[in-house]
Structure 1
Amino acid sequence: MDRPDRTSGVQQPGLLQWFAGLPCLVAALVLAVVFAVSWSDLPDPMAVHFDGGGDVNRSASPVAVLLIAELTLLALGAGLSRGAVRGSLALRTLYATSAAAAVSLGYLFTVLVLANAGAGTADEVRMPLWHLAVAAGLAVGAAGGVRLLVSRERPAAADESAVSGSVGLRPRERAMWVRSVGPQWLIAAGVVGAAAAVVAGTLGWAPGLWLWPLGLVFAMMAGARVSVHGDGLTIRPPLLRVPRIHIPLQRIDRAWAAEVRPLSDLGGWGYRIAKGRRGLALRSGQAVWLELDDGRQFVVAVGDAATAAGLLGDLLARDARRDR
């Protein structure tokens, strides 16, 4: 069974993880109420796309707009909840991303409905593009507020693990340790930026229709997800399964936690290959060091490295007992 009390990154879904997407789900509910109240006053078709002066240049059925808006919010909320359960990002970052997306997208969709309400035809509707600036400001405020309210994750006895070299994994227990590395606010900004670009393109900012992939690429490349499990150590982008770096447990002779200085230990920041050593270091500080079966070393700079090294040590000891 998983032992969240022994490894701080073990994937043990709880209410906090499942609720990471709740702000988006609340926004979808509020928007549904706004649609229901305004439905009889909406023109058919309703205005959905506006030029730089705020004048309508495209319309669509209210049913289509409702479905697109609701599916966007619900899918984003479900994706963020799944990301929290899988440990793709820190819980604070996921809550901040969810709040920013819910507030900004909810605002834009609600303003769109209210602007159409009471209009005889779609041509009568106007929606100034300063609403996009308001939505961006609300997103920043919501994300900042949530990050202040949600406490940081508490490291689990890192010093004790560093001394003992073990997390106390028992013979038949399974555990997984997961941490994200890199500036997580950049990942969140990429996700929110991609969603905002789609909405902006819908409302009239034409570049938004092709800028959204840049936001997703930005989010995928802004950091990495490091995990330790029964198969060894794996590093991959936070939102994708590939590309990845995998060090099988069978190739690891020893694991320990120590400081890493990217410039002197690896020759620079990022993924580096040096003489007898390779690794990933987006910052200096705590790191998991591995001694491999070919005599080379692998290092990854990551928080709570002592717990990761301790879990790898327990897994290696278990394999050694099986081979006797």
Structure 2
Amino acid sequence: MSDKNMRAEITRRSLAGASLCVPVLVVIISWLAWRDALPAELASHWSGSGPADDAMAVGTLLALNLALSGVPAVAGVAVSFWPGISARARRGTYFFLGVFGGMGAVTWLLSAGLTMQVGDPYEVVLGPWVIVSIVAAGYGLIPFAISPKPRVEATDVARRFEFAPSETGAWSQTITGNMFAWVAIGLIVLGSVIYGPAVIDGRVSDQFFGIAVMSAAILLVASFIRLRVTADWRGLRVVSAIFRIPLKRIRLEAIDMIEAAELRPTEWGGWGYRIMPGRSAVILRKGPGLIVTTTNQKQFAITLDDPETPAALLATLRDGNSAAPGDSKEVTS
């Protein structure tokens, strides 16, 4: 990494850590501004949409929310400068710290601000302000977005194919995701239990939204039970073999690097179809798979039995070592 990039990364990490200090500063500044007007007790708990059912002394509630917003601030600054932490781990830590910091600040502001308006803490109604307390959890997105993105580390496959001047290559494989089949069956059983009585009683219209959502979820999961993976002059394509729906397409000219690697679910967010910032994957099991890095530094991975062959083929086609679409030669291991 160049000195310029290193300085930019340190600056962004510093800003991300500083953003985690904002919630605790809001708590402190608001307390300093309101301390002469605060009653002895503040509303601290609501069981529903009605009035508060519990209250706390100002000092106790202040200390609680200072801890809830202050600990993430200290931890965020430490994480910003602690060596040996990967960019991916650092971003995830920023997010979770921001969630707690944001909730701590908003909890204090709502309790103190609403109680000052009403006077009696047991008559404070949270009402629509509950939406603000929920949205506050999204504060973690701010340091997450500021923090430097993980640098993509990828290597290019070395193997290449030799084609005649008029030949090009094509490769395809159908893979089965047993886990998607079991999940689809589970959703069908769950949907039958939840919505079956309504269907039998002719009350489909009453449960239409829930039935529609469940049906869409079943169809989405079922589309991944059998996948057709193809590599040819168009690039890499993943199509649902059941519904003939294209699920992923990476154009050949958009491919930067291709590698066959050992895929571990823990490194890709678990099993199934995974979507993460800058990365997506179809992980069916621990084992061999194909990783494609695009020119905009995004990655896609998929579990395959023979990833070396499509990796070599796509690298050959990308490098222009075959003809444009014409006589297609089926490539095998």
Report the TM range for the smaller structure's normalisation.
0.3 to 0.5
- Under a length normalisation based on structure 2, what TM-score does the superposition of the two structures give? 0.40
Q: Based on CA coordinates, which of the two structures has the bigger radius of gyration?
A: 2
- Under a length normalisation based on structure 1, what TM-score does the superposition of the two structures give? 0.41
